[in-house]
Every structure is written in C-alpha cells, then in structure tokens.
C-alpha cells in the first residue's frame, strides 16, 4: 500500500490568474507569491529605479519606459517588497508560483 501526504496541498499548483500590482510615482509595493518562485513582467510609463533584496543581497536597477523582465527579481515565497523611485506608473504582472 502506498500512502502520500503533504503539508501544503497547493505547493505545485500553478495559478491561472495573473497578479497585477501598480504603483504611481514613488513608493514601496509588496508582491505576494506562492511557494514556487516567479519573475514579474514590469511595465513602466517613465524611467524608474527599483530596489529589492533577496536572501540578504540587495539589488538596484534603473529602467526606462517600456516592458521589462529582470531575472534577478525572482519573487520568493511570501511577501516581496520592491521600492520604486520615479514618476509615472509602474506595473508588476506575474502568475504566482510560476517562472
């Protein structure tokens, strides 16, 4: 007899709905993610500087208006904070638990 058990039944569930978070001008946005890492698509209407940290390592990236994917901005399980400095709108789009 084979018995399987787990503590998180949706750990391998791929979300079908996109998560979309928008921030206007400057501020901090909190991106929530499930257990599997995700990389957001970032769309900006003006130049913006993004700052975030992963496992104690800090990152900073200045991007021009447009659509970007930054592999280093891998969202981990839980809350992921990103500081945005700039003018215009910055939108983060991703599917939780999906690269």
* Cα gap 91→22, rounded to integer Å: 4
Which pLDDT score is estimated for 37?
87
pTM more than 0.85:
no
Which pLDDT score is estimated for 13?
54
What's the pLDDT tens digit per position in 37-93? 899 999 999 999 999 998 889 999 999 999 999 999 999 989 999 999 999 999 999
* Cα gap 29→23, rounded to integer Å: 7
| 19-94 has CATH 3.20.20.70 classification | no
Segment 9-18 shows an average pLDDT of 62
What are the boundaries of each domain within the chain? 19-94
DSSP 13: P
Cα angle for residues 9, 12, 16 (degrees, 5° grid):
105
DSSP 14: P
């Amino acid at each position: 007899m084979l018995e399987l058990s787990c503590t998180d039944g949706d750990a391998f569930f791929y979300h079908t709905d996109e998560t979309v978070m928008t921030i206007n001008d400057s501020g901090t946005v909190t991106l929530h993610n499930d257990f599997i890492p995700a990389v957001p698509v970032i769309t900006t209407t003006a130049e913006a500087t993004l700052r975030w940290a992963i496992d104690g390592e800090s990152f900073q990236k200045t991007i021009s208006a447009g659509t970007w994917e930054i592999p280093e901005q891998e969202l981990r399980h839980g809350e992921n904070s990103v500081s945005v400095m700039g003018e215009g709108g910055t939108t983060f789009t991703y599917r939780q638990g999906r690269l």
